[in-house]
Amino acid sequence: MPGSVDVLRIELSRGVGAIRDSIKEKGIVATANLVVATAAGQVAFPVTKARRQRERFTFRGHELPYTLHRYNNAYRNERTVEISIAMWFLSGEDNGRVLEIGNVLAHYGVTGQTVLDKYETVPGVCNDDIVDYTPEQPFDTVLAVSTLEHVGWDERPREPEKVFRAFESVRNCVAPGGKLLVTVPIGHNRALDEGLRSGKLKFQQETWLVRTAKRNEWREADRDEALSKEYGRPFRNANAIFVGSENV
């Protein structure tokens, strides 16, 4: 797992690109506010971690610890529950060959899995587009943490229907008898939200969580409550997430 200095270096490197993109899309003032908030999060991290290390949230009958981590200020956004859920999903002894869509978990100390990420060009990561990806051999365990909502929606030109092809491709990567976990934030991709609302996109097990406090506390909710939440309001980033899983 990267040390504090490494994390800060990585944050700085990824932040430069994010700042450049933010200035183009949101302007200098909004970008300056984002930079200040990010820096404040890094400074506040040690105190918050000490105060919240014993806190838990409920997920499918399990009491899971919040993930309190510097990277991407995870302790201040939806990653605080998503990473914990992913680690719970991988905690069994029968994971077999693992595929992760989106290079996320390595930043939180989880390594050894095959990683597919179209944009993050780092050693060991396959840069194929998920809709075009066909593994030589299907995987026993497949997961995607806050990644699929970007497919088609954050690309130019925008292709709202592409996200559904991505979900189908992900399912095709799972071997018979394997398992799958996907998490996505509500409110980022309107086409994906509507697919979840209409039932166009379904999973054997579906769980919804909503953020309830500024200090980043979460609880389980029903579908309607979760889908009523906005991205970025009243709290920064996601205010609700969807977790879908199934055994193939």
Domain boundaries, the chain: 77-247
| Chain length of the chain | 248
Has residue 12 got a pLDDT over 80?
no
- State mean pLDDT over 140-158: 97
Higher pLDDT among residues 23 and 147, named by residue: 147
Q: Note every long-range contact of 60-65, with CB atoms under 8 Å and residues 24 or more positions apart, other chains counting.
A: 60/205, 60/207, 62/88, 64/88
How would CATH label the architecture of 77-247? 3-Layer(aba) Sandwich (3.40)
The residue-averaged pLDDT of 167-195 equals 98
pTM of the predicted structure, to 2 decimals? 0.85
Q: What percent of the chain has pLDDT over 90?
A: 73
pLDDT classification of 51: cutoffs 50, 70, 90? confident
Token output for 63 = 């009491």
Alpha helices in 27-158 (DSSP H): 28-52, 79-89
The better pLDDT of the pair 73, 6 is held by 73
In this predicted structure, what is the pLDDT of residue 2? 41
| pLDDT reading at 217 higher than 90 | yes
Q: Do the beta carbons of residue 164 and residue 200 sit within 8 Å? A: yes
pLDDT of residue 1: 39
185 versus 72: which is more confidently predicted? 185
CB atoms within 10 A of CB 205: 12
Q: pLDDT at position 93, please?
A: 78
Does the structure show a pLDDT above 60 at 169? yes
Mean pLDDT of the chain: 89
pLDDT digits (tens, 9 = 90+) for 89-135: 999 878 999 999 999 999 999 999 999 999 988 889 999 999 999 99
pLDDT tens track for 15-49: 565 566 556 666 776 556 566 666 666 777 787 88
d(CA 235, CA 210): 11
pLDDT of residue 184 exceeding 90:
yes
Confidence of residue 225 (pLDDT cuts 50, 70, 90): very high
Q: Which residues contact 105 (CB under 8 A, 6 or more apart)?
A: 83, 86, 111, 113, 145
Q: What is the pLDDT of residues 56-71, one digit of tens each?
A: 999 999 999 999 998 8
Give dist(CA 39, CA 41) in Å, integer. 5
Q: How far does CA 14 lie from the centroid of its chain? A: 16
